[in-house]
């Protein structure tokens, strides 16, 4: 167990809807990363927050947004959902902002859009 | 743009046989590479990184800048090595992952 928690484990929703995925980092970690793992795109980096501020951005759609709160937990908001958004969403955390710090992954949230 | 390629989606070997999981990368800067592993029903975890030049669970990986490769090797595979392996390249603070190789070690 890496200490990173994600809720919910599974989420089933309809196209056009909006969902929020939650991630709690390991105690003491200031960085949170979000990744999307889908069958056709593989494991892709979405966005990184460090101590409440956006630090790096990857292939994140405009329909998606994220934030990190003062208690350092993070939420990934997905709106106007499409079938292609069905994927496993991972969160990871690390102590520092640089990628050289080991990233510890959560168990993921499996999103199914019907 | 950076890119990581793992040419084998599936790799099957017998216990005790050598194993090599291939990883090639494309990156204009000085690369920093990692191998991550995901065992069945477990979360993704770091296996090793090239800068530490260490051996973890008998696995080693050498960065070959001439061939732009970072292959993962183990001389004698064990059944517990069966897992999904991902090669990843660090750029800034973002990791770019390959598509992964599912390794099965048969008894």
The pLDDT tens digits of the residues spanning B14-52 come to 999 999 999 999 998 888 999 999 998 889 999 998 877
pLDDT score, position A2: 67
User: For testing the chain B interface, which of A42, A66, A87 should be mutated: the one with the most B CBs within 10 Å?
Assistant: A42
Antiparallel, parallel or unpaired: β B94-97 and B69-74 = unpaired
Contacts of A107 in chain B (CB under 8 A): 43
Residues A59, A69: contact at Cβ < 8 Å?
A: no
Residue B78 has pLDDT above 70, yes or no: yes
pLDDT score, position A39: 82
Higher per-residue confidence, B80 vs A2:
B80
Average pLDDT over chain B, rounded to an integer:
93
The closest CB to that of B44, out of A90, A97, A99, belongs to A90
Residue A27 has pLDDT above 90, yes or no: yes
pLDDT score, position A37: 92
What percent of chain A clears pLDDT 90, i.e. is strictly above it? 86
The closest CB to that of B90, out of A58, A99, A107, belongs to A99
pLDDT score, position B56: 86
The alpha carbon of residue B83 and the mean position of all alpha carbons in its chain are separated, in whole angstroms, by 11
Q: What pLDDT band is residue A42 in, cutting at 50, 70 and 90?
A: confident
Residue A29, Cβ density class (10 Å: 0-12 exposed, 13-18 middle, ≥19 buried): buried
Residue A112 has pLDDT above 80, yes or no: yes
**Which of A17, A24, A28, A52 is closest to A109 using CA atoms?**
A24
Residue A87 has pLDDT above 90, yes or no: yes
Q: How many interface pairs between A and B have CB atoms less than 8 angstroms apart?
A: 49
- Residue B65 token pair: 């800048």
Residue A59 has pLDDT above 90, yes or no: no
B96 touches A at CB < 8 Å? yes
What distance in Å separates the CA atoms of residue B31 and residue B24, rounded to the nearest whole number? 11
Could B43 and A106 be called an inter-chain contact, meaning their C-beta atoms sit closer than 8 Å? yes
Antiparallel, parallel or unpaired: β A53-57 and A42-50 = antiparallel
- Residue B53 token pair: 């030049």
Higher per-residue confidence, A80 vs B28:
A80
The closest CB to that of B86, out of A4, A43, A99, belongs to A43
Mean pLDDT of A36-59: 91
Phi, psi torsion values for A56, nearest 5 degrees: -150, 150
Contacts of A2 in chain B (CB under 8 A): 43, 45
- Residue B33 token pair: 């590479």
């Amino acid at each position: 167990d890496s200490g990173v928690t994600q809720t919910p484990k599974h989420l089933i929703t309809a196209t056009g809807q909006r969902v929020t995925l939650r991630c709690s980092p390991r105690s003491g970690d200031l960085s949170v990363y979000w990744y999307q793992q889908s069958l056709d795109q593989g494991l892709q980096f979405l966005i990184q927050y460090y101590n409440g501020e956006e630090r790096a951005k990857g292939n994140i759609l405009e329909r998606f947004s994220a934030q990190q709160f003062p208690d350092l937990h993070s939420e990934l908001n997905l709106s106007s959902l499409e079938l292609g958004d069905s994927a496993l969403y991972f969160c990871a955390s690390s102590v520092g902002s640089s990628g050289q710090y080991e990233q510890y992954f959560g168990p993921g949230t499996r999103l199914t859009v019907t | 743009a950076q890119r990581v390629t793992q040419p084998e989606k599936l790799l099957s070997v017998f216990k005790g046989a050598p194993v090599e999981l291939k990883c090639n990368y494309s990156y204009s800067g000085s690369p920093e590479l990692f191998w991550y592993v995901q065992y069945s029903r477990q979360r993704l975890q770091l296996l090793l990184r090239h800068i530490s030049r260490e051996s973890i669970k008998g696995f080693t990986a050498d960065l070959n800048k001439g061939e732009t490769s970072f292959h993962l090797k183990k001389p004698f595979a064990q059944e517990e090595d069966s897992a999904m392996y991902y090669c990843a390249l660090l750029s800034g603070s973002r990791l770019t992952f390959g598509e992964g190789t599912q390794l099965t070690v048969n008894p």
